[in-house]
A = this chain, B = another copy of it.
Amino acid sequence: MYKIYRQNCPVAKTLDILGDRWTLLIVRDLLKGKARFKDLEASLPGIPTNILADRLKLLEANQIVVRTYYCAHPPRAEYHLTPRGQELSAVIAALALWGARHLSDEQRFELVHTGCGAPVDQQWVCPACGKEIPPLRVHTATIRPE
């Protein structure tokens, strides 16, 4: 769906890259440290091989993933998130938190702090006010040229 939305909105622009089937789950697994094609394929049951290859190329083309070779003959690649790719952890975490709250049935999930194991909360903070603000009080604004 690359650039299907053609909207000058940061949500639509992000979904132009990430909104296609499987892509965000690939990012989720890269965040978990999976790096090799076979490992990604194994953690995504049902993904067609060509779709996984295609999505990794798209992520690479958008500087979300870098490909390196850990074996020259035969060529074998590893995929790692770039810093901008790692920042997608906030998107994955928001999806996980909503799913954990609202969609769990037989098993329940929560998001926990890797350091201490306690459940965590997501907040929006306004540095100007120094206050926590609910997400509904956040909106997108165009930055005026200086």
A residues at B contact (CB < 8 Å) = 1, 4-15, 17-21, 24-25, 28, 31, 45-46, 84, 86-104, 107-129, 133-143
**Alpha-carbon separation in the docked complex, A121 to B5 (Å):** 26
CB-based contact B96/A140 at 8 Å: yes
CB-based contact B109/A118 at 8 Å: no
CB-based contact A90/B100 at 8 Å: no
Q: Which residues does chain B contribute within 8 Å of A122, judged by CB atoms?
A: 90, 122-125
Q: Which residues does chain B contribute within 8 Å of A115, judged by CB atoms?
A: 126, 129, 133, 137
CB-based contact B140/A126 at 8 Å: no
Interface centre among A6, A84, A114, A117 (most CB of B within 10 A): A114
CB-based contact B123/A129 at 8 Å: no
CB-based contact A139/B125 at 8 Å: no
**Alpha-carbon separation in the docked complex, A113 to B14 (Å):** 21
A-B contacts besides A13-B104, A87-B98, A118-B129, 15 pairs, CB < 8 Å: A1-B21, A4-B21, A10-B97, A11-B24, A13-B99, A15-B24, A84-B101, A90-B97, A91-B91, A91-B98, A92-B135, A93-B124, A115-B129, A115-B137, A122-B125
CB-based contact B24/A109 at 8 Å: no
CB-based contact A15/B112 at 8 Å: no
Given contacts A15-B24, A21-B19, whether A141 and B121 have CB atoms under 8 Å apart is no
